[in-house]
Amino acid sequence: MLHEQAVADNNLAGTTLGEPILSARNVAKSFGSVQALKEVNFDVHCGQVTTLFGENGAGKSTLMKILSGVIQPTSGEILLEGTPVNFSSTTDAQELGISIIHQELSLAPNLNVRDNIFMGREIVGAGGVDFREEERQAQLLMDELDEPIHPLTPVEDLRVGQQQIVEIARALSTNSRILIMDEPTSALSASEVEVLFRVIKDLKSKGVSIVYISHHLEEALQITDHAVVLRDGVMTAYAERKDIDLEWIVRNMVGEGFDLGSAPLGYEMGGIALSLQDVSVPDEALPERSVVDGLSLDVRAGEIVCIYGLMGAGRTELLESVAGRTPMSNGKVFLKGEEVSQCSIAERIEKGLVLVPEDRQRDGLVQTMSVGENLSLASIGAFTRKLMTSRELEQDVVDSSIRKVHIKTSGGEAEIGSLSGGNQQKVVIGKMLATDPDVVMLDEPSRGIDIGAKAEVFKLLSEGARQGLAVVFSTSEVGECLSIPHRVIVMRKGRISAEFGPGVTKEEIMAASGESVAA
């Protein structure tokens, strides 16, 4: 019912199937000195699926946030059916029929489906909220989406896939004609993906235009009508589905342009610095299941090992448990021949095994502390004399760290929030390097930082390796596997599915991870 309305709107405005309904023209966005988007042109095609491809940090999310009114572009304009529009908030965009479904669902798990759908837009009758009418409409939406979910089911009882359907229902209930989906399948099982795709096809037939973002290239190709590729904030390619294949996407996504460096050579590697033997890590939610399943790995001093894998492959879980954050269900960790499986995080740092966590805001930085206090946090012992910390010695640690990892800051006293993402990441890395480690593990060190900062971080790691540091880093960007590592490990479902030397190709890595069609 609601869609008939939407279709009618479309017809009124005169946009026909396949024509651009929403367009971005020369849109640019910068955050401080970082330019996230540069003069991007992007069309959403009416009644069809337009997929946006690109690596992490390519600017996909930024573009979607601009189209849905979450943020405003620095320059350029947005055209809705040919007329320039200006969204100052998501509510503005919603009123014009544009909704976004974020990667992290925004439902209240304690409320039921009906209340979630009408959250903030309750239907109020004479006697307060008209729950019966709300329930009727919620039921209608579920029927339309062909999902047997009762409107009174608490959302926390639903599977993730069903929760996603509820999000879609909520978007539809606001008369959305354009639906932006950011990585909708990343947390879904194969059968749930099928349901979602059926719903997407259904929505298309009802005239809803869809923007789709996914790292799962193969899946996206099944559903899309148009493909747009972004790389480092620039739109690099556009094509219709019928003209392209997987290889085309990968080629355009990764590009050949920026050199992230190559494996440092010309020195002798040392003995085995880190040895993992038959490591298993239980799933936090389902302890009987293992997210890391009997994995063994040796890393030598001076060696750089890269762990590649899709989301959910178990990379983060592996690194966190090796660092001592989460317990292992099985297996042993040896540092320079000494077993450290039972040691606390602090003891492992003391012995020379450190982790730079993936989410720097959540796990890396203390936001209430200054740059200097963050940098020295892990090595307080080094500047403590007779119970008291020494200001001079701490200043030395901070200054040398700022120099060593090239942090752009006005000094150690600056607030941590004043730094750019790349510099914040360097603070986290600098903090761990200040402990003078033998083995450094970095979980997605390039996440959310621009290409220049990325290259700097990699250079830093190469230099470390040259001086005998064992480096293990994880990534979900294939391009990084071909840069500085001496060895690439591909993880898939908690196990090592392949191991490659420096001569490997992107296609081989992606095949081993389960990402490509060719596999």
Q: Is 362 in the site for another protein (CB under 8 A)?
A: yes
Q: What distance in Å separates the CA atoms of residue 208 and residue 8, rounded to the nearest whole number?
A: 11
How many whole angstroms separate alpha carbon 50 and alpha carbon 232?
A: 19
When asked if residue 150 is in the footprint of another protein (CB under 8 A), the reply is no
Q: Which of 59-67, 88-96, 330-338, 368-376 is the region at the interface with another protein (rule: CB under 8 A)?
A: 368-376
What lies within 8 Å, CB to CB, of 94 at 6+ separation is 69, 174, 176
DSSP strand E in 46-177: where?
Answer: 49-53, 75-80, 83-85, 98-101, 124-125, 128-129
Q: Is residue 71 a contact point for another protein (CB under 8 A)?
A: no
Whichever of 16 and 367 has its CB closer to another protein, that residue is: 367
Position 284 contacts another protein (CB under 8 A): no
Q: Least distance in Å: CB of 287 to another protein?
A: 17
**Beta bridge pairs of residue 281:** 292
Residue 442's closest CA among 470, 487, 474, 469? 474
Using CB under 8 A, which of 346, 517, 518, 519 touches another protein? 346
385 lies in the binding site for another protein (CB under 8 A): no
Question: Would you give the binding string for another protein spanning residues 208-237, x where CB under 8 A is met?
Answer: ------------------------------
Q: Does 345 bind another protein (CB under 8 A)?
A: yes
Please tell me whether residue 415 binds another protein under the rule CB under 8 A. Answer: yes
Please, which residues have CB within 8 angstroms of residue 368's CB and are 6 or more apart in sequence? none
- Count of residues making up the chain: 519
Q: Does 393 bind another protein (CB under 8 A)?
A: no
Amino acid identity, residue 203? L
Shortest CB 373 distance to another protein, Å? 7
Among positions 44, 244, 349, 398, the unique one binding another protein when judged by CB under 8 A: 349
Binding of another protein by 373 (CB under 8 A): yes
**325 binds another protein, rule: CB under 8 A:** yes
**Residue 2: partners with Cβ closer than 8 Å, 6 or more residues away:** 140, 141, 144, 172, 173, 175
The total of other beta-carbon atoms located within 10 Å of residue 436's CB is 12
Beta carbons of 492 and 506 less than 8 angstroms apart: no
- Considering only 94-102, 408-416, 451-459, 460-468, which stretch makes contact with another protein by CB under 8 A? 408-416
Alpha-carbon span 64 to 415, nearest angstrom = 30
Q: Min. distance of Cβ 317 from another protein in angstroms?
A: 15
Instruction: For residue 112, give the DSSP letter.
Output: B
Query: Residue for token digits 């069609």?
Result: 517
- CB of residue 33 vs another protein: minimum separation in angstroms? 7
- Taking CB under 8 A as the criterion, the residue among 47, 57, 309, 357 binding another protein is 357
Residue nearer to another protein on the CB measure, 228 or 349:
349
Which is nearer to another protein, 273 or 434 (by Cβ)? 434
Contact by Cβ (8 Å): 136, 114 = no
Strand partners, 124: 129
- Please give the biggest Cα pair distance in the chain: 81
| # of chain residues touching another protein (CB under 8 A) | 38
Asked if 304 and 311 count as a contact pair (C-beta separation under 8 A), the reply is no
According to the binding rule CB under 8 A, does residue 509 interact with another protein?
Answer: no
Stretch touching another protein by CB under 8 A, among 190-198, 216-224, 341-349, 466-474: 341-349
Residue 135 φ/ψ, nearest 5 degrees? -65, -40
Structure letter (DSSP) for residue 412: T
| Nearest Cα to Cα of residue 79 among 38, 9, 24, 13 | 24
Applying CB under 8 A, among 40, 378, 490, 491 the residue interacting with another protein is: 378
Contact between 96 and another protein by CB under 8 A: the answer reads: no
Backbone region of residue 210 per phi and psi (left: phi > 0; alpha: psi in -120 to 50; beta: other values)? beta
Q: Which is nearer to another protein, 263 or 369 (CB)?
A: 369
Helix (H, G, I), strand (E, B) or coil at 39: strand
The angle formed by the CA atoms of residues 502, 508 and 509, to the nearest 5 degrees, is 70
Between 349 and 510, name the residue whose CB sits nearer to another protein. 349
Near another protein by CB under 8 A: residue from 123, 152, 311, 380? 380
Task: Check binding of 453 to another protein (CB under 8 A).
Answer: no
Site string for another protein, 2-41 (x = CB under 8 A): ------------------------------xx--------
Give φ, ψ of 163 to 5 degrees: -60, -35
Q: Are 89 and 96 in contact (CB under 8 A)?
A: no
Among 106, 344, 467, 505, binds another protein (CB under 8 A): 344
426 binds another protein (CB under 8 A): no
User: Judged by CB under 8 A, which of 16, 389, 400, 505 binds another protein?
Assistant: 389
Does 189 sit near another protein (CB under 8 A)?
A: no
Interacting residue ranges for another protein, rule: CB under 8 A: 32-33, 323, 325, 344-346, 349-350, 355, 357, 362-369, 373, 377-378, 380-381, 384, 387-389, 408-410, 414-415, 417-418, 431-432, 435
